Amino acid sequence: MNQVSCNEVVSTIYQRVKALKEKGKPANYIPELAIVEPSKFGVHIAQLNDANFGIGDFQENFSIQSISKVLSLCLAYRILGEKIWKRVDVEPSGTKFNSLLQLESDNGIPRNPFINAGALVIVDILISELENPKEDVLNFVKSLCPSGNIDYSPKVKASEKSVGYRNFALANFLKSLGNLDNEPNDVLDLYFTICSLETDCETLSEIFLFMANDGIVPHSGEKVFSKSYSKRVNALMQTCGFYDESGEFAFRVGLPGKSGVGGGIVAIYPDKYSIAVWSPGLNAKGNSYKGMKFLEDFTTETEMSIF
Ligand code: GLN
């Protein structure tokens, strides 16, 4: 898509979606997220041909929450290779992101790496494999966009930890079922830290551009992983990135993507672009209401979806 038409389409849809009365509600189970101004709305598209464009609050930091689960997975997959799939499955769960339901009948193997149980197992792997997990994860993420602005938020981490009863339950359950090598408290501490990553739409879309580029960071040429690994992670985002709304996202938007309860969504169009949207109001399934609406209109009007 050329730059002028892309900018025009993004601006037109942005204004239309911004004007919608319905905007969902910010996550209220994490106190620090509940106080975010619900009218915030930003979009940034990073294209492989360098025709980048942002609008609205696209340079304002927000909590990326579960979007970070893709980045943890990439790092763990790169380190452990195919062995990783012995610890976590690749099937959509059809349940809420923090559900405990399937874990017992699945003998402690989470359905996929993006539900909380799966992400806890991935974090357990990172603790076992990395020398300084917190620093190493942050350095990995920064290496994907060295000019970007990304860091952990101690405030959001503490806020989530103070009320993270379900995640405590999940980690202890996983430990009792034999799928955590480290102590649940250590796993939870790193999990909450990684979920607290904050950045803006501009940096987030740049970070994820390697997923549109067969696993290679476009600006540095660094190979994060192979084309085949990139295909697999994109496939997981497509089938599991939106929990029990993954089918709906594929149906309406038609791109691999990942959401977070901070109201962010990142979506990938392989070989073309990565796009990040942030609007803190969530729908009933915990995904950004306006973010989904924007992306649906964008892929429909540009006819740029993978289907
Ligand atoms: N940190 C959040 C949690 O564990 C992440 C959930 C999400 O973004 N879907 O509940």
What is the C-alpha separation between 160 and 125, in angstroms, rounded?
A: 22
Task: Please state which CATH class domain 3-302 belongs to.
Answer: alpha beta
Considering only CA atoms, which of 1, 48, 49, 55 is closest in space to residue 201? 55
| 261 CB within 6 A, ligand 1 | yes
Q: Which ligand 1 atom is the nearest neighbour of the CA of 29?
A: 10
Tens-digit pLDDT profile for residues 142-185: 999 999 999 999 999 999 999 999 999 999 999 999 999 999 99
- Ligand 1 pocket residue status of 97, Cβ below 6 Å: yes
The confidence score (pLDDT) of residue 4 equals 66
Residues 6+ apart with CB under 8 A from 256: 211, 234, 235, 236, 237, 238, 241, 267, 268, 270, 306
pLDDT tens per residue across span 102-137: 999 999 999 999 999 999 999 999 999 999 999 999
Domain chopping of the chain, boundaries: 3-302
Q: What is the dihedral of CA 212, 217, 223, 225, to 10 degrees?
A: -40
Helix (H, G, I), strand (E, B) or coil at 46: strand
Alpha carbon of 219 to ligand 1 centroid (Å): 30
Is residue 245 pLDDT above 80, yes or no? yes
Q: What angle do CA 238, 244, 247 make, to 5 degrees?
A: 45
Mind listing the pLDDT tens digit for each residue in 61-86?
999 999 999 999 999 999 999 999 99
From 69, 70, 93, 98, give the residue whose CB has the most ligand 1 atoms within 8 Å, as the site to mutate. Answer: 98
The contacts of residue 94 (CB under 8 Å, 6+ apart) are: 244
Residues 170, 117: contact at Cβ < 8 Å? Answer: yes
Q: Is 268 helix (H, G, I), strand (E, B) or coil?
A: strand
Q: Which atom of ligand 1 is nearest to the CA of 196?
A: 1
State the burial class of residue 131 (Cβ atoms within 10 Å of its Cβ: 0-12, 13-18, 19+).
exposed
